[in-house]
A and B are shown apart, each in its own frame.
Chain A
Amino acid sequence: MCAMTPNDLNTPAPITWCPGCGNFGILTASKMAIAELINEGFAQRKDFVITADIGCGAKIYDYINVNGFYGLHGRTIPPAVGIKLANPELKVIAYGGDGGLLNEGISHLIHAARYNSDITVVLHNNQVFALTTGQATATTEHGFKGKSTPLGTFEEPLNPIALTLEAGATFVAREFAYDVAHLKETLKAAIKHKGFSLVEVLQPCVSFHDTTQYFREHVYRLEEDGHDPRNFEAALKRAREWNYDLNPDAGVPTGVFYVSEDRMSYEEGWPSVRKGPFWKRKRERDWQEIVSLYGVE
Chain B
Amino acid sequence: MYRQILIGGEAGQGIAKAAEILGKAFVREGFYVFNYRDYPSLIRGGHNFNVLAISDEPIMSHEFEGHDIVIALNDDTVVKHAAEMKDNAVIFAPNRVNAEKKISVDTDAIIKELNVPRIMENTILIAAAWKYFGMPFESLEKTIREELKGNEAAVKAARKGYDAVDAGHAIDEHPERKPRYFISGSQAVALGAIASGLDLYIAYPMTPATPVLHYLAALQTKYDYQAIQLENEIAVANAALGASYAGAMTMIGTSGGGFALMGEAMSMQGMSEVPLVAYLAMRNAPSTGIPTYTGQGDLKMAVNIGHGEYPKVVVAPGDPREAFERTIEAFYLAYKYRVLSIIVSDKHLAESTYTIDEFSPRVNPSRNIIDVVPSDYKSYEITETGVSPRAVPGQADVPVRATSYEHDEYGYTREEGEWAIKMNDKRFRKVKYMAEEIARLEPVSVYGEGNNVIVSWGSTKGAIMDAIKRLKGWKFVQVSYVEPFPVDQFKDAVKDAERIVLVENDVTGLLGQIIAEKTGIMIDERVLRYDARPLTPEYIIRRL
- Report whether chain A binds chain B: yes
User: Are B221 and A279 in contact, CB atoms less than 8 angstroms apart?
Assistant: no
Residue in contact with B403 in the complex, picked from A68, A81, A89, A275, CB distance below 8 Å: A68
User: Are A87 and B179 in contact, CB atoms less than 8 angstroms apart?
Assistant: no
Interface range, A side = 35 or more
User: Are A107 and B235 in contact, CB atoms less than 8 angstroms apart?
Assistant: yes
- Assembled-state Cα–Cα distance A47/B241 (Å): 18
User: Are A79 and B247 in contact, CB atoms less than 8 angstroms apart?
Assistant: no
Given contacts A67-B394, A69-B401, contact A82 B179 (CB under 8 A): no
For A59, A85, A87, A281, which residue has the most chain B Cβ atoms within 10 angstroms?
A: A85
For A65, A77, A278, A296, which residue has the most chain B Cβ atoms within 10 angstroms?
A: A296
User: Are A46 and B393 in contact, CB atoms less than 8 angstroms apart?
Assistant: yes
Binds A, one of B153-161, B165-173, B180-188, B381-389: B180-188
Judge whether B446 is part of the interface by a CB distance below 8 angstroms. no
Judge whether B257 is part of the interface by a CB distance below 8 angstroms. no
> Which chain B residues border A291 with CB–CB below 8 Å?
181, 183, 191, 195, 324, 359
Judge whether A148 is part of the interface by a CB distance below 8 angstroms. no
Judge whether B412 is part of the interface by a CB distance below 8 angstroms. yes
Judge whether B411 is part of the interface by a CB distance below 8 angstroms. yes
| Min CB–CB distance A51 → chain B (angstroms) | 7
| Min CB–CB distance A122 → chain B (angstroms) | 16
User: Are A46 and B396 in contact, CB atoms less than 8 angstroms apart?
Assistant: yes
Binds A, one of B36-44, B81-89, B222-230, B466-474: B222-230
- Assembled-state Cα–Cα distance A75/B237 (Å): 10
Residue in contact with A287 in the complex, picked from B195, B245, B400, B403, CB distance below 8 Å: B195
Residue in contact with B392 in the complex, picked from A70, A111, A272, A279, CB distance below 8 Å: A279
Q: What residue in chain B is nearest A79 (Cβ atoms)?
A: B242
Q: Chain B: how many interface residues by the 8 Å CB criterion?
A: 71
Residue in contact with B399 in the complex, picked from A68, A72, A108, A297, CB distance below 8 Å: A68
User: Are B195 and A290 in contact, CB atoms less than 8 angstroms apart?
Assistant: yes
User: Are B394 and A70 in contact, CB atoms less than 8 angstroms apart?
Assistant: no
- Assembled-state Cα–Cα distance A111/B239 (Å): 13
Among A235-290, those with CB < 8 Å from B are: 270-273, 275, 277-281, 283, 285, 287-288, 290
Judge whether B22 is part of the interface by a CB distance below 8 angstroms. no
- Assembled-state Cα–Cα distance A255/B131 (Å): 76
- Assembled-state Cα–Cα distance A212/B294 (Å): 58
For A11, A49, A275, A283, which residue has the most chain B Cβ atoms within 10 angstroms?
A: A283
> Which chain A residues border B392 with CB–CB below 8 Å?
87, 279
> Which chain A residues border B359 with CB–CB below 8 Å?
287-288, 291
User: Are B226 and A272 in contact, CB atoms less than 8 angstroms apart?
Assistant: yes
> Which chain A residues border B224 with CB–CB below 8 Å?
272, 275
Judge whether A45 is part of the interface by a CB distance below 8 angstroms. yes
> Which chain A residues border B247 with CB–CB below 8 Å?
86-87, 277-280
- Assembled-state Cα–Cα distance A211/B237 (Å): 36
- Assembled-state Cα–Cα distance A291/B400 (Å): 37
**A70-108, CB under 8 A of B: which get 1 and which 0?**
111001011111110111011000000000000000011
Binds A, one of B197-205, B450-458, B526-534, B535-543: B197-205
| Min CB–CB distance B306 → chain A (angstroms) | 11
> Which chain A residues border B413 with CB–CB below 8 Å?
13, 59, 61-62, 70
Judge whether A19 is part of the interface by a CB distance below 8 angstroms. no
**A1-21, CB under 8 A of B: which get 1 and which 0?**
000000000011100000000
- Assembled-state Cα–Cα distance A275/B183 (Å): 32
User: Are B265 and A72 in contact, CB atoms less than 8 angstroms apart?
Assistant: yes
User: Are B228 and A78 in contact, CB atoms less than 8 angstroms apart?
Assistant: no
User: Are A78 and B238 in contact, CB atoms less than 8 angstroms apart?
Assistant: yes
- Assembled-state Cα–Cα distance A44/B393 (Å): 11
User: Are A296 and B248 in contact, CB atoms less than 8 angstroms apart?
Assistant: no
- Assembled-state Cα–Cα distance A255/B16 (Å): 58
Judge whether B24 is part of the interface by a CB distance below 8 angstroms. yes
> Which chain B residues border A108 with CB–CB below 8 Å?
231, 235
Judge whether A295 is part of the interface by a CB distance below 8 angstroms. yes
User: Are A70 and B405 in contact, CB atoms less than 8 angstroms apart?
Assistant: yes
Closest 8 CB pairs of A and B: A279-B247, A79-B242, A82-B242, A82-B239, A78-B238, A82-B243, A67-B393, A86-B246
Interface contacts beyond A81-B235, A293-B219: sample of 14 additional A-B pairs, CB < 8 Å, sorted by A:
A49-B246, A49-B394, A62-B413, A69-B242, A70-B405, A72-B265, A72-B404, A78-B230, A82-B242, A82-B243, A85-B239, A287-B191, A294-B187, A297-B179
